[in-house]
Amino acid sequence: MPLTNNPADYVAGDIVTWMLPGNLPHIGIIVNSGRRNERKPLVVDNIDSGPVTEDILFEYKITGHYRYYCTRD
């Protein structure tokens, strides 16, 4: 998927990768915010403290954006 700064381009289930300070690669999964009428996607990730849901999508340099398409026969 394209790398953009538009929150609407990221949907629940998308996988996003970042480069953290210190040249550390990181990965997270986009989830719905859980709040009605809020379009800002949240991320489930794990940075040292176990899995958490955070508002960090645009906090670090995004290096990858992936979406898996499932087709049924």
* pLDDT given at position 40: 78
- Say yes or no to pLDDT of 2 above 90: yes
Token digits of residue 28: 């997270």
3-state secondary structure 16-65: EEEEECCCEEEEEEEECCCCCCCCCCEEEECCCCCCEEECCCCCCEEEEE
pLDDT over 90 at 36, yes or no? no
Dump pLDDT digits (tens) for 10-27.
999 999 999 999 999 999
Q: Percent of the chain beyond pLDDT 70? A: 89
Q: What is the pLDDT of residue 73?
A: 65
The rounded distance, in Å, linking the Cα atoms of 30 and 25 is 17
| Rg value, the chain, Cα | 13
